[in-house]
Amino acid sequence: MRTLLSKSMLVLYAIISLAFFVSCSSEDGIGVVPVTGVKINHPTLSSVEGDVDTLVVTVLPMDATNRSVVWSSSDNSVAKVNKGGVVSSISAGEAIISVTTDDGEMIGRSVVTVSKDVIPLTGIKIDQTTLSLEEGGDAATLLAIFTPKNTTERDVTWSSSDETLAVVDEVGVVTPLNDGEVVITVTAKDKSKSGNCIVTITPKYVPVIGVKIDPSLLVLIEGGEPKSIVAVFTPENASNKNLTWSISDKTVATIDELGVVTPLKAGEAVITVVTGDRVKRATCDVTVIVPTVVELGGNSYVTVERSGAKIDHNRGLISWVDAKSVISTYFYMHEAGTFDLDIEAQGHSEITVKCGDKAYNVKVDSDEFTRFGVGTFTVEKPGYVCVDLQGVSAASGNFGQVKALLVGAKGKMTYVHDFENYWGRRGPSVHMKYNLPAEDVEWFYNEVTVPKEGETMSSYYMAAGFGEGYFGMQYNSGTERRVLFSLWSPYVTDKPGDIPEEYRIVLKKKGRDVYIGEFGNEGSGGQSYLRYNWTAGETYKFLMQVHPDGNGNTIYTAYFFATDDNEWRLIASFMRPKTDTWYTNSHSFLENFSPEQGYLTREVKFSNQWAHSVSGQWIRLKNATFTHDATASAGVRLDFAGGVLDNGSFYLKMGGFFNETTKGYTNFISTYEGVKPDVDFDFLETIK
């Protein structure tokens, strides 16, 4: 009895659990995918009495849980259908075969036309020969048109020539995917007949959100080359990219429908662009300026292959015969930004014009000086700009003559103009003037070091200057260096031969191997030099004496300490007539004496300056004033500097178009206490 009861309870528990499980699965819908639609592969079907055809049903979605269907016929005397979709044609007439899903009672239909005999197909076409759809837009249905209309051969297939653009299903529904043109084809079962429809898929309409002009600021040269600006749309794939351009002042510049701006005269104007839908607009500020004429005669150098071209101070670039030659022109821009560049040239050649990492090829083709457009360059920050010219090809072996660069830039520019080109190309000379003590001074001592980075040919590193002359080291050529001592005559002239006898410099004594002569062109007087192969990085000592002889004349004597021989060497001793003075205007200077070398930087250090008074005391000179020459004062060159280094040495730097500049008449103080010179004056008198 207990066993039977236990078994009954277990069965009851299982039935309740199963009922609970089934209820949860079906009523709550957990894991069930409902049916959303149904379709039949042949919406229409033509048949002949006695034929058997099969209809295929598709239940949507493909993963629907309940895929059961029921088939039926509207007229079984015409056509019957079994539960598998097999249609039997009975007699002539028309019947509708339906399929109904169990889930949702979705219905699909096929119209079946039964004929007594086969009516052959003679032609087929599509109801539309052309069709326009939008990319990603709604689908459209194409219909097959049969000839004759009552043909029993109605089985067809649909196809697309490019399924990346559009696809078509078995009933002629065309779905557009991407813009382009595609051909949809319907083909009879025996493939003997077909019809086409050309489908054009237009891009999806994308509205304009915004527009801007690139660049938003435009600088052009008066009478120069036109320049194009562009409108940038947001988004980039906006559908309507039609534009209307306009300018506020047509006397300053004009703009065409393609955005090409032609400069006319100096002035300012605003360019406006309006989008085709008249909704968005943008502006660009245009400035047309008179170009700055940078003449090559005062601002250019042959920096590579110097034998292949020449800079003439009046005519500019001439004798340009070597394609390897590079001609560099320098000017200082006080504002960052862009600049337009033209060149004034004559000849028949092609040349490259380069600035920074940007280059343009320019064809020069004129027997007269003509303006040729180059292009636009960008300057990232204020400072010196270098424009290089190099030949590409020349009809007669000569690349022609270039007179000037025409620079269209906003803001101030510094370059050599309204100044002697010779001096401008040499670059600014710079000086360090030492403050002498109040008592009379007879001797001046200085130590000079040319750093390796400052060692440049055609340089004068002048160490011991005085009121009437100077004494220092020169780098004269690849094979010669000198220690030079010069003394001006009191008679002012640039021609030594014009000096009267009573004003001539008189040699009193000269050192061994020292050349004695005269100099001119920058005043005139006596000159002496020792050919001595001094070395960059080494420190050299200079000692200069100025002593009045009591008869209205003054004796000037220069000594140089030759480190190779570890001895003081006499350079020369000169008498300057009609002069009665002790040491005055103690100074050093740095200069370039070749206009062809003005693009190279020079630098020198001066340390341990001492004055020896007539009372016999060595006095340390720690105060100095930086000055410069007329080239710097005229403001045509800005590459000059001087000051005091961390080790207490004074320094001078010039040339090479560096961007640092020291203001003239700036005072500097050395923190170096110095080492008193160990000089035996009695011994110096014995040096020959």
By three-state DSSP, how is residue 407 classified?
A: strand
CATH topology of domain 431-669: Jelly Rolls (2.60.120)
Domain 292-417 has CATH 3.30.70.270: no
Q: List CB contacts of 437: < 8 A, sequence separation 6 or more.
A: 611, 613, 619
In the predicted model, is pLDDT for residue 297 greater than 50?
yes
Mean pLDDT of 12-18: 40
pLDDT tens digits, one per residue of 517-541: 988 777 788 999 999 999 999 999 9
> The domain 37-115: what is its CATH number?
2.60.40.1080
Break the chain into its structural domains and give their ranges. Answer: 37-115, 123-202, 210-289, 292-417, 431-669
User: Band of the pLDDT at 5, cuts 50, 70, 90?
Assistant: very low
- Please write the tens of the pLDDT for every residue from 340-352: 999 999 999 999 9
pLDDT at 395 over 80: yes
> How many CB atoms lie under 10 A from the CB of residue 18?
10
On the question of a common fold for 123-202 and 292-417, the answer reads: no
Q: How far apart are CA 637 and CA 634, in angstroms?
A: 8
Overall average pLDDT of the 616-645 stretch: 98
Name the pLDDT band for 30 (thresholds 50, 70, 90): low
d(CA 56, CA 110): 10
Residue with tokens 């110096």: 684
Element (DSSP H or E) covering residue 5: helix 2-27
Q: Rounded CA gap, 378 and 336, in Å?
A: 8
Q: Specify whether domain 210-289 bears CATH 2.60.40.1080.
A: yes
Instruction: Give the Cα separation of 489 and 504 in Å (integer).
Output: 6
Per-residue buried b or exposed e for 646-670, using 16+ beta carbons within 10 Å of the residue's own CB: eeebbbbbbbbbbeeebebeeebeb
pLDDT in tens, 94-149: 999 999 999 989 998 989 888 888 889 999 999 999 999 999 899 999 999 999 98
Q: Per-residue pLDDT tens for 562-620? A: 998 899 999 999 999 999 999 999 999 999 999 999 999 999 999 999 999 999 999 99
Q: What is the pLDDT of residues 201-236, one digit of tens each?
A: 998 888 899 999 999 989 899 988 899 999 999 999
pLDDT confidence of residue 20: 38
pLDDT band for position 22 (cuts 50, 70, 90): very low
H or E element at residue 297: helix 296-299
For residue 309, pLDDT over 50 is answered with yes
Q: What whole-number distance in Å separates Cα of residue 660 and Cα of residue 247?
A: 42
Q: Between 3.30.160.40, 2.60.40.1080, 2.40.10.120, 3.40.190.10, what CATH number should domain 123-202 receive?
A: 2.60.40.1080
More confident residue, 416 or 525: 416
Instruction: Give yes or no for residue 263 having a pLDDT over 80.
Output: yes
User: For residue range 642-651, what is the model confidence (pLDDT) as tens digits?
Assistant: 999 999 999 9
Distances (CA, A) of 84 to 57, 81, 89, 102: 9, 8, 15, 15
